[in-house]
Amino acid sequence: MNLRAIGCNVGSAPVELREKLAFDADKTTRALAELTARYGAEAVVLGTCNRVELYLARPETGAPVHSPLVAEYLSELHGVPAADIHPHLYEHADADAVRHAFRVAAGLDSVVLGEDQIAGQVKDAFESAQRAGATGPLLNALFPAAARASKRVRTETGLGQGQVSVASAAVGFLKEVFNRFTDKTVLVIGAGEMGRLTLTHIRELQPAAVLVTNRSPEKAAALAAEFGGAPLLWEQLDDGLARADIVVSTTGADDFIVPRRRFDEKVRPRRGRRKLVVFDLAVPRDFDPRIDDGDAVTVFNVDDLNRVRDQQLAERRRHLAPAEELVAEEVTAFLTDWNRRKDGPVIGALTEEVNRIRDEVLGPLLGKLNGRLTAADKAAVEAAFRLMGNKMLHGPIAALKEASREGHGPGLREALMRLFGLK
């Protein structure tokens, strides 16, 4: 196995860096093509609001793609100095990379423990890579196995109980700020899946009014109608910001949609000292953080979820140990199956070669002894040679299986092939 999972997440890199490394559809397509061409690697790009990860698999005889190379590539793609990227990257190799992929898909490596959105995001990333022709034998086996592990965690443990996601954690945070919502106006910016999920939780708060705006007025109208809110034209965003008490922003814009100057000139004077809470769930961020004045206007981003996460997830943490054990089982099963696939052809070729040598020696011997042995004698000689061959095979095959379990299979497979002249 020659697998690497390299990236950064909310625990290793600040949002200021993660937003610069964010992948949109165009950059994902470009990266998949360039990574496969440049490194001769299978590739999957996973980009979410909390992480940017590359899964890269190369032939076992090839050199691994280590994090310095990935930092250089990300620097080239995003225009960020490699020296600013590399210190924040983590690198998982082979079996550890398999375990990392399974934990990510199961929500065990998320800001919100056990959140269920990540499973769909992992699936989408894999399917995008497949459509681009960037996957191969290893990643085509790895990601479906990660999906199975994720499903087991959610169905066989209590980790998936209740709706806990980035959006629900944000709403939980808002509950700490406001005592009631029946007199509040909520503005949701963005009509994608995150906006829909956020509205699902906000509806339970029974706010006085819900406004939805999006660059596409049709999408804004559809989402607003679904949740009993009112659509707002994108050109009326400043009006919405002036009216709102709570803003949840979830767009995929490349830069601030609300810079500080725009807010200070067109929104703040109309609000007076009325309190506004902005929860910016987008990466890259939608709101200039300098809008936060420490008094009337407060701006939170996804990295601010840690505190409310600790409060919301106390119950789920009780199920963490069983979930980790289940993931460990799935990792062992995957590695065993993968090593069987890789070892099988070598074991088959080695067995065939030992049998060939046995027949090459046994044939002339039985020819010389023709007529001097009874049928029972001949059968005993043949059985003795077969037993000798099997004993000769036992040591190399057992050693190969053990080496594969310990992650050293490629070297021993190559050595056996060279020693016995196998093809």
49 part of the active site: yes
Residues 387, 375: Cα–Cα separation, whole Å: 18
Any long-range contacts for 387-390 (C-beta under 8 Å, 24+ apart)?
A: 388/358, 389/354, 389/355, 389/357, 389/358
CA 112 to chain centre: 14
Cα–Cα distance between 160 and 157 in angstroms, integer?
Answer: 7
pLDDT tens per residue across all 423 residues of the chain: 789 999 999 889 988 898 889 898 899 999 999 999 999 899 999 988 788 999 999 887 778 889 999 999 999 999 999 999 999 999 999 889 999 999 999 888 887 777 777 888 999 999 999 998 999 888 999 999 999 999 988 888 877 665 556 667 777 777 777 778 889 999 999 887 777 777 888 887 889 999 999 998 999 998 888 888 899 999 999 999 999 999 988 887 888 999 999 999 999 999 988 889 998 888 889 999 999 988 889 998 877 765 555 665 666 677 788 888 899 999 988 887 887 776 667 777 777 777 788 888 888 888 888 878 888 888 888 788 878 877 877 777 777 777 766 666 677 777 777 777 777
Residues in the annotated binding site for substrate: 48-51, 110, 115-117, 121
Q: Where are the domains of the chain?
A: 3-162, 166-311, 338-419
Which position among 31, 32, 43, 49 bears the catalytic label? 49
Q: Look up the CATH superfamily of 3-162.
A: Glutamyl-tRNA reductase, N-terminal domain (3.30.460.30)
Of residues 133, 126, 121, the one with CA closest to residue 35: 133
Cα torsion angle, 326, 119, 94, 346, sign: positive
Top CATH class of 166-311 equals: alpha beta
